[in-house]
Structure 1
Amino acid sequence: MTSAARLLETCFLSLYRLSCRIYRPMRHFAGAAILAVFALTVAAVVQVYPVSNWDMVAYTASILEDKITDPVELHDTSYELLKENVSEGEFQALTQDREYRIRQYEDPAAFGTMLGFYRLKLGYIKTARALSSFMDPVKSLRLISMASALAIAGLLLVWLARNKALMYGPIVVAMLIVTDFGASAALLTPDLYASFFLLLACFLYIERQDIATAACLIAALFIRPDHLAFIGVFFVFALIYGPGRWILTATFIVCLLAYSLILKDEGHPGWWIHLWFTHVEYVPTLEGFDPPFSPLIYLQMLVRSTVRSLMNQTWLAALFALVVFFTKVINPAQMTERARILLYAIFTSICAKYIVFPHFETRFYFPYLMAMGMILLVSWHQQERRKAKLTPA
């Protein structure tokens, strides 16, 4: 090694040791501050540079349906509110960008057939409707996204603090970035709103608060009914292992009944049509649209969705990293029983959900990946603390 290389390495190590000595006494405060600043930054960006997507028009119409019964008026009012809340360029993109958007903008009847995809998010619609008493519906949707992002960050801070692990705030920030937290917060969708209740349910289950866990799971279902897949898998694992089995069994029964009623009452077109619409083509109207089920087309959807996940999304990479971390670092025997049950249920539900409805976007897996990450991070932290106590000084 040359003199210059030795000098460079010495300087680097000296700076590193100095940084560690400064950081170590304040590591909990610094970790919490980094996570808090990141969350506030995301919320500020969402407010200052909002993202506009076509779904916001359909959600706006769903919010207004209780006051406007005429389809043409509902359509026109929804697009007028869109125009008031986006730039001229964004409005052109959302109304003239492709054949589907042009048809929805020009044809109120075709637009009305799409609302069955959106009405079933009852919890999201009802919350936005309540907020719309104080602001227009588009702004209420933005407020829900921003508040959900802050609430999730607050919950993660509490989760870390409860386990004396606030120093891992930077790691949690990295997890949030990898799981597309910022992009999800910017979209006007119910994803983060439901994610808050799912993450809270996971935290409360580990804390042995089973009734509160059930309430959060039911809330998540009413915001996004497709979370029934996780609730069903979770109930099965709880039934097998024991902790919380009866409350989670009752929760699953309630959620299954609620799911059936929601799909029936809100005019959802059905699983196969929804799958076709998402993965094959955006048909301009659902009136009379009823393609026959095809196993070959379903397999093509799976392949196409997997390729898109690998090329443009991060959830598969994040899931793989979490599984490798679990197999290489975590001793399952040292995990608490509830953490182990929850971890197995989450992983299984991700696989089950993908088979039933192969979403390729990371935002659909955000709460599951974050819950897995938090469980593994806390378990590793507890494992290392036990190891340090057993190691002689």
Structure 2
Amino acid sequence: MAAVRFRGKNSFVRLLSGLAAAVVLGGVMAAAPHALVEPAAAATSPDPDSSRPVYRFWSEGYGNSHFYTLDYDDAQNLHSTDGWWTYEGTDFRVWPLENGSCPEATTPVYRFWSPKFTSHFYTVSGSEADALRQGDPNWDAEGVRFCAASEPGPGLTAVYRFWSSAFNKHFYTANASEAERLRTSDPKWAYEGIEMYAPTSGAASPPVTGEAAPRMGCQAPDMSSAIAAHDAARIVRLFGGAGTFRDAVASGRASCVPLDDPALPWVLVNKQNPVSPIDYVPASLTGGLRTEVAGSYADMQRDAAGAGAGSIGLTSGYRSYSTQAGIHRYQVGRLGVEDGERLAARPGYSEHQLGLAADVVACGGGGCGSLYDFAGTSQERWVRENSWRYGWIVRYEQGQTATTGYNAEPWHLRYIGTELARAYHDGGYRTLESFLGAPSAPNY
């Protein structure tokens, strides 16, 4: 059996009830500090002969999620065609449903799926299942997937349950040494007790065979080196292209991809996500923009004029932390905090500090206009329709203040890369937050 891998960075408070192996601390479930102790065996146990092994898969792309299935076709398909999952072998055994019901002396195992946490949850507790169905919108009930024993007995082994608040994931294993290692050596996992009992013998299932599908996304062999090198093009390619990359990020299947790395073009900076580090300065600047994007801006500027839209001027590109502090202070002093901060970011929260933002104006024979004159010009219309072709998007569109926290700024362009900008345009997105599947950030 493959070793368990651990990666992730989310947190949430679970609504769970009836956990004999957990205690409630401040409303959050916490593991009770006990060893892996099994209760005394019952006098009888269900017939093991019809039980079958569960196929176990792991996905780093789904944030260190495990998936368990009794369905051979499902398991073989994941192994052969889905590069998001890695087959880890068979772990514990369970009983399949018989005409929609559990065999005698077994109990249903309820399965839930959370799109928010990109994970499955299994429980034999009917009250716990009811609590999730009735009171937790994060979990979708998927019914009974297989059956297990709820009490110990001859020929049965414990299936241990763990929870990780670091990954927002549950993990189940019948391997006592694996469970003991997690309980004693890995602080990311909290032991929640024995979830069910599984037979140690029974009917065999067909083996998962053949070559595994090429690893995708976070599980691609070269992904770690691509991220370490801040190689955006290679990262996107390892996800299978910009559209797949975007979908993976937005759906939580790209947990390895940092959204706060200022060296990457998709870095998200808004009122909830400051520049990190706060005093970041781009390694190289050319003409007020990061050197690697200055060429794309020059191409856009040239082509706008060539298309007859007029000349576009760059009035503000890179701004240091201290420069932004002065702009923020001025606008807040002039308009008040609420209105001023819908126009000017606080220092350390401005995209301009990345060197990936450009405030543009319309220029003509009489010179250049102001930012506030840009809307409605031929240059503004051309930029709105064509900037994506050069890797730029209009960052703060009309009607999106509730998401971005800023008034409409048709002059504020943000570079995210040509491939991603095409996916942004083709998908009809209007904010970078929605494109990346990130929460709205209207306030600090």
How high is the TM-score relative to the length of structure 2?
A: 0.22
Bigger helix share: 1
Q: Based on CA coordinates, which of the two structures has the bigger radius of gyration?
A: 2
Provide TM-score, normalisation by structure 1: 0.25
Structure that is richer in strand per residue = 2
